[in-house]
Chain A
């Protein structure tokens, strides 16, 4: 069974600085999807970044980028120029690729989250 581990329950960073959130996962699959979701105090779940495992290039979205190390099964999130609005819980998640049959294609597995505080 797949598992997702976020080893940092809480982190803090000064405004304008850079922070990296770690995520590791365990799978025997070769094709899969990885996600980072953000949950601010409003509780709304918002996608930050999505990565397809077969793509070598690391995904980026403005100030957010990932370091995807497939062999190490690592998917860390880097937030540059941190802003107060980045304060939130961040969840890493894993899903098997739709082309892989054998059930559980739609099973999305989340890590337990990292609470990030951005300080002024």
Chain B
């Protein structure tokens, strides 16, 4: 089944404790992206990757890191999480830029 998977789906952590949210797609897509969703703000793009080894900042990249070492995976790293990073996070992928993006199920993160 063609899909985007994210792990974990739910995470509670404490301020400053490094964490990684994984994202994987099995559709051989070139483009991958991370978004956060907050009430009243819609979805905002954190980082995106046009293809392997090419990443770029979205609208809210502060406090996040990404890497794209292989086509199928695009992990999101929070080196020192803070409470303002409490949010619902989505990973998405598409065949190429501008094509339909397929979203993962979301990761709900709570930083205490």
Report which A residues bind B (CB closer than 8 A).
33, 35, 43-47, 50, 52, 91, 93, 95, 97-98, 103-113
Contact = CB atoms under 8 A, between A and B. Distances in A.
B50 A106 contact: yes
Can you list the 9 inter-chain pairs with the closest CB atoms, starting with the nearest?
A45-B103, A112-B42, A98-B97, A106-B48, A110-B43, A110-B42, A33-B98, A47-B100, A106-B97
B58 A107 contact: yes
Contacts of B100: 35, 47, 50
B41 A112 contact: yes
Nearest to B50: A106
Interface residues of B, number: 27
A96 to B, nearest CB: 8
Given A103-B56, A112-B40, A44 B105 contact: yes
Contacts of B92: 45
A98 B45 contact: no
B74 interface: no
Nearest to A93: B43
B80 interface: no
- B40, B98, B102 — most chain A CB neighbours (10 Å): B98
Contacts of B101: 35, 47, 108
Contact of A43 (B33, B59, B105): B105
Contacts of A112: 40-42
Nearest to B45: A108
Given A43-B106, A95-B97, A107 B88 contact: no
A109 B50 contact: no
Interface in B6-44: 31, 33, 35, 40-44
Contacts of B58: 107-108
